[in-house]
Structure 1
Amino acid sequence: PDLIHAHNNHAVTVAVWARRFLTYARTAAPRLVATRRVVFPVRRRSALRHADAVVAISEAVRATLLAAGFPAGEVKTVPSGVDPDEVRRAAAVPLNLRAMLGLPPRAPIAANVAALEPAKDQRTLIRAAHRARADRPDLHWVIAGDGPERHALAAEVRRLDLADRVHLIGHAAQADALLRESDVVVMSSRAEGLGTVVLHALALGKPVVATAGGGLSEIVPPEGLVPVGDADALARRVIEALAHPSPVPLPVRYTASAMATGVLAVYRSLL
């Protein structure tokens, strides 16, 4: 091959070794492109440092790469993108979320779709549900996902006496339908490389409330952002979004076609 594109850390390691092997059979080694999706610090000995170009999915990710010493000319920002038509087609298959949970047909729902792990900080989301209950006792919070925090989060729900308002439903096979049937999409993450769930929510015309962690602040309007870990602010913004929903359309630069164009430009710069 003329070029190898690795899309995660494990793939980068394999690609580095594959390129070394290929040099024995070729005069020139294939160029290596790696995509970086997270805002965590880059290890000094990371295989990522062997790439000819690194695609950052957001400016927040690019900033972490530059801080780790990557040359600016080798780091290209190409935002992740989704196909809005495909998202809408997937969302059109009914989930009947309220009926599944035994809720009234018009019960308001704030939905979080994310792995249940510390970085997603659903504990703050649950505390926000507790704060919001006095003002919006009719509001239900749905947390869709699995992970190591599940038991701890369930215990927190019980401790705050929220079992009838916070619903941990596990992995959602119909995530797009869940987003469509919700009233507000909420992200409580400490940091996100970008936030694919938010892109899906925007494609579906849903209001989004999110923490200003990592790339989330690049795609969520300022009025939808709250400080990381601030349960009070999260509760207030969700209540405001329910009362005055103001969704924004998915920007063109976050579509799959724009992403493909950007990645092809990176390839052409190396070949």
Structure 2
Amino acid sequence: MSQTNLENSAVDTSVDEAVGLGFVTLTQPRRRNPLSAQTMREVTAALTELSADQRVRVVIVRAEGPVFSAGHDLTEMIGRSLDDERAIFDGCTEMMETVQRIPQPVIAAVQGPAIAAGCQLAASCDLVVAASNAVFGTPGVKIGLFCSTPMVALSRAIGRKRSMQMLLTGQTIDAQTAADWGLVNIVVDADDLEVKVRELAAQITTASPLTVRIGKQAFYHQIDLPQDQAYVAMGETMATNAMTCDAQEGMQAFVDKRAPEWTGR
């Protein structure tokens, strides 16, 4: 496994090339893994780096210590100018959009509380596996700073009424409730978190990397379109997908009752 961890960095990047996994790990557990401006830049850079690595089929976002992330570093947001505040949230938006823009599926492995922008980060990932002791919350309303940017990801994951409940009350929900509401895919015992994340990733890596890339891009393209426009766009996507070598190989392999051999073309 190759690894990159620069001095004074809040983020560790590593690749397990044997199984095609890239890892982005928050490494400030004593501070509850805050999403400072520097940390968000580092996460964005790590995701961008892994997106260009041909060895990486799935990216896993995780954190050290008992807390996934407590959200923004509030010390950076006190006594600053409007331009300073804008820069923080511009950096946050860039990080969240990078999660969904890179071609590889991104799985959040949430081992503990994911709060405010930490909840937003989890909600922005393509899939979420959570330990049973994890909680999710957007408590900004309690300190006079409504979680407006987390609201973007949260409302798209769990809908209007449930996201408004979290945003207006600031109360956390447990992992099982998060799963019931659609914020989390799988809840497991804390000791089984890494195993289950790797199992889920392994299921994805059996597919053609080209097809997965097409599918992820198509999902985010169509999700906010009106239904008629979505069908037009996705009909074209499927038609062009069907013309790829991997799709032709996969369909022929199914007919022949054999395992496909992917070429990524």
- Determine if the TM-score, normalized by the shorter chain, exceeds 0.5: no
Flag the structure with more relative contact order, 1 or 2, with Cα contacts below 8 A and sequence separation at least 6: 1
Give TM-score scaled by structure 1 length. 0.28
**Greater fraction of residues in helix:** 2
Give TM-score scaled by structure 2 length. 0.28
